[in-house]
Amino acid sequence: MKEIVANPLHLKSLNHISLQCRSVEESVKFYTKILGFVQVKRPGNLDFEGAWLFSYGIGIHLIQYEDSHNVPKKNEINTKDNHISFQCESIGFVEKKLKEMMIKYTRQRVEEGGIYVDQLFFHDPDGFMIEICNCDILPVIPIAGDMVRSCSRVVPAVEAAVTSTKLCSAMKK
């Protein structure tokens, strides 16, 4: 399998996503207790309320809406909506936990060439879509046709604080 070589901007990795939220405190609880993120220090000179979280090699920056009362909340789960996806070890385990936590979700199965990918979709407290899947079993095949590796490496929260350069080097081995 080949590594992807086209990188005109010399990017190293995804660093973070930013999400506006009605309640930073409620969102921190969700992302730490449900998804296993760790709250990390954010620069003290930022002049707005927020929180930074980190795990799985990526950050989530939560930003408090200035007028949180006028923000529409999404209730219906639309699997085609904007979302962030996390790979899991066991879709059955995740589904059991979501049921125990009484989190409303939608399950979907996609088949491609005899490979079945299971997906669970649910919302964070502000209606942002989360997907949990076993997508790493599906090969990543660029349109040009050369297969590349998908990342199925499990990165514990503390280990994930390693610089992205070291992480990329380790994944190439």
- Residue 93 sits in a domain whose CATH number is 3.10.180.10
Asked if residue 127 is part of any domain, the answer here is yes
Clarify whether residues 86 and 129 are in a common domain.
yes
Q: Give pTM, 2 decimals.
A: 0.78
Q: Based on the structure, what is the number of domains in the chain?
A: 2
Clarify whether residues 81 and 128 are in a common domain.
yes
pLDDT band at 133, cuts 50/70/90? Answer: very high
Q: Can 25 be counted among the known catalytic residues?
A: no
Least confident of 10-24, 48-62, 79-93, 156-170: 156-170
Asked if residue 135 is part of any domain, the answer here is yes
Q: 3, 89, 112, 131: which one is catalytic?
A: 131
Per-residue DSSP letter, 103: -
Pairing label, strands 83-87, 129-133: parallel
Q: Are 128 and 134 in contact (CB under 8 A)?
A: no
Clarify whether residues 128 and 103 are in a common domain.
yes
pLDDT band at 153, cuts 50/70/90? Answer: low
Q: Is the pLDDT of residue 47 over 50?
A: yes
**Domain region containing 81:** 75-144
Cα end-to-end distance, the chain, whole Å: 13
Clarify whether residues 79 and 123 are in a common domain.
yes
Asked if residue 162 is part of any domain, the answer here is no
Least confident of 37-41, 43-47, 68-72, 166-170: 166-170
Cα dihedral 159, 165, 168, 173, rounded to 10, equals: -90
Clarify whether residues 49 and 23 are in a common domain.
yes
Clarify whether residues 94 and 53 are in a common domain.
no
Which among 171, 96, 168, 91 has a CA at the least distance from the CA of 134? 91
pLDDT band at 170, cuts 50/70/90? Answer: very low
